[in-house]
Structure 1
Amino acid sequence: MSDDTSQPFLFPAIRHKKITADFDGGRITSDGGVLLLAAAERRIGMADRLARLIADPRNPRRVTHGVADILRARMLAIACGYEDADDLDHLRCDPGFKLACGRLPDTGRDLCSQPTISRWENAPTLREVIRLTYALVDTWCDSYARPPAAVTLDIDDTVDVVHGHQQLALFNAHHDERCFMPIHVYDAATSRPVAIIIRPGKTPSGQEIRGHLRRLIRRIRSHWPNTRLTIRGDGHYGRPEVMAWCEAHDVDYIFGLPGNSVLHRLLEPSADDIRVRRAETRAQSLRGYAEIRYGAKSWKQQRRVAARIEATTLGLDIRCVVTSLRGGNAEWLYGALYCARGQAENLIKRHKGQLASDRTSCRSPLANQVRLVLHTAAYWLMLTLRDAIPAPQPLASAEFTTLRNRLLKIAGRILETATRVRIAFAAACPEAALFRSLAISMQAAGP
């Protein structure tokens, strides 16, 4: 049967010369930079780490695609912008992706297809999914050459809109959507993800947050028993159960604290001073800081509260945080320490918007958690690649979308002969020098 799906087509003529085109260029990949991602994956061993945690009941003599190969292909595709498993039906014969997964472009077997990907996303049991989630924490801990003296972890949740009848999906009145509300934990100082947990589409309770933190801190301390840990989150993480648990287990915290009439009454002397000074100087706004001891009815003790008070022509704006930290003044606690949590929100946007981690469309919550693990693994690949770029380079601090467009989406013709595989990249590539240096520097060291 003749192949009538590939028909030549025309572009407007230039200088009376007709321009014809067709998709018959041969073994060309549009994602030549996937080989850099493959080097990043080999450096951290993410696919092998995850594959060891999933039982494979298949007959080894009949296995075409190992679990590590399946996970590796999925992670590389996500990092390159192919977030749907359906894309593997086309990418499975792409010569660039085959090389990145350790297969020859012509004589090697094609990669796994979408049904294989979907089966393995739904295959892990509850215990295996828990181990996969813990593996993300282990990867973060292993990313440090030595245990740090202190680490601040940002915890937050984000809306993940669903479009079906997935388990755990609930209607959230605040977002006016049926959704999940997965919890993200980041080491914002280094932009590294620590843990991502799927959960129902509602605000987490104090008991739920305490349970997540208890398991997370226990895992971290199995690696770093002497590291000082600080948990940072917004107002709905500052629950009495959470603060009491942190105090009992030598974990510092700083959480947002919603305002109320009692807090405003205690802060009135400081607020009045700032208000009067603004009026006297006729400034548009004047900001100050104050510190008090405050104990809500649901608390068993008084705690340290730092407040940012801003007087403007429109009135007063008072924002408070509650903390277990004893050092630092109110200005440092709120302005420098707490406000730095805004970076975590940017990291969540990067995780969702640039790696499409909100594609949690499986019916089972276990399969959706596996997807979050795979998208987080792709996050690690992109982060490892970016960290390998020397600091003077503009791309050393670029967003993942920029890295993808400048370093990954590079066309290359791939030719396999009897003795070698040759890749010819585009001669006009703007990042050719950086690409070459990265390819050399990310190679594994010899014996």
Structure 2
Amino acid sequence: MKTECTQIKSRFQALGKREIRADFDWGSISSDGGALLLREVENRTAIVRRFAECFTDFRDPRRIEHDVVSLVSQRVFGLALGYEDLNDHDELSKDQMLAVAVGKSDPTGNDRKSLKDKGKPLAGKSTLNRLELSAQGDLSGSMYKKIGLDEEKVDNLLVDIFLESTPIAPPQIILDVDATDDPLHGNQEGRFFHGYYKAYCYLPLYIFCGEHLLCARLRTADNDAASRTVEELAPIVERIRNRWPNTQIVVRGDSGFCREELMSWCEDNDVDFVLGVAKKTAD
């Protein structure tokens, strides 16, 4: 006997002459429709593809079903959709909408080689975890790590994307340096308590120019807020100067970056700076 449970339709207020209704008798359903917008952005900018080119795949191509581009795309799009935890991808591996955004030719996953992977067009958490644990160097002889990462290429890519976004050299740019807390919820390596944030956390360093991210460097919380700032700023400023030699560069930060090392470096390299000064507490 034919069931009637999928025949219900909900009608909503019309939009002009357009009828709006919800049908519950369709096939696969996804709550991640925004993935298609991410796909359109990627098709225009190729940012994720260029990011994937910073990796080197030492895996046997005859034995893989997810190339580096699709793995990086899946992880980046997942983060943009709010799925930060790798565990989410055990369920997302079946999401056909995300598979379309990633560019899978078989978004249903029905053509997967392994029977247990049928219906899962995307990678699971274990495969993505191996991607995130990528190391530098030649990994062709490694048993477990088979995807290498060139960190210098990633650093250069962030600056290049910023430079390409502005075809005409601006008279002035401001580089904002900042440190913030990345709370920890377990016994991760490099776990330290930070007195200001009153929590166990990492203390990553960020460098922005407007809305453009130029640097994101993970650091442990036992370091000063300004730790490694000069080391990260120097190659960024050099790359910008090579493209825009006449642009004034200003470094801006709060009192946590008011350090002699940073100010001396700025003065020696013709970089202006605006840094906060901590309030002196009463005795």
TM range (shorter): 0.7 to 0.9
Q: Cα 1:133–1:166, aligned 2, differ >3 Å: closer, same or farther? A: farther
Residues 172 and 201 in structure 1, CA contact (< 8 A), matched pair in contact too: yes
Q: How many Å separate the matches in 2 of 1:227 and 1:254?
A: 17
Structure 2 matches for 1:122-141, cutoff 5 A?
122-125=133-136, 128-141=150-163
Q: How many Å separate the matches in 1 of 2:111 and 2:176?
A: 44
Q: TM-score when scaled to structure 1?
A: 0.49
- CA deviation profile, 1:70-89 (whole Å, cap 9, x unmatched): 00011111111111122222
CA drift at 1:141: 2.0
Q: How many Å separate the matches in 2 of 1:206 and 1:29?
A: 44
Q: TM-score when scaled to structure 2?
A: 0.76
CA drift at 1:150: 1.4
1:409 aligns with none
- CA deviation profile, 1:104-132 (whole Å, cap 9, x unmatched): 43366511111110010002328723432
CA drift at 1:212: 2.2
CA drift at 1:260: 4.9
1:175 corresponds to which of 197, 204, 223: 197
Structure 2 matches for 1:36-115, cutoff 5 A?
36-103=37-104, 104-106=106-108, 110-115=121-126
Residues 214 and 236 in structure 2, CA contact (< 8 A), matched pair in contact too: no
Q: How many Å separate the matches in 1 of 2:185 and 2:239?
A: 34
- CA deviation profile, 1:256-289 (whole Å, cap 9, x unmatched): 123459xxxxxxxxxxxxxxxxxxxxxxxxxxxx
Q: Greater share of helix residues, 1 or 2? A: 1
1:253 aligns with 273
* Number of equivalences: 238
Q: Secondary structure at the match of 2:128?
A: helix
Q: Cα 1:259–1:175, aligned 2, differ >3 Å: closer, same or farther? A: closer
* Amino acid aligned to 1:133: D
Identity %: 33
Q: How many Å separate the matches in 2 of 1:112 and 1:243?
A: 47
Q: How many Å separate the matches in 1 of 2:92 and 2:225?
A: 43
Q: Cα 1:227–1:167, aligned 2, differ >3 Å: closer, same or farther? A: farther
RMSD value, Cα: 2.4
CA drift at 1:206: 5.6
Q: Secondary structure at the match of 1:26?
A: coil
* Amino acid aligned to 2:64: V
Q: How many Å separate the matches in 1 of 2:228 and 2:243?
A: 24
* Amino acid aligned to 1:256: G
Residues 155 and 214 in structure 2, CA contact (< 8 A), matched pair in contact too: no
Q: How many Å separate the matches in 2 of 1:36 and 1:206?
A: 37
Unaligned runs of 5+ in 1: 1-7, 9-22, 262-447
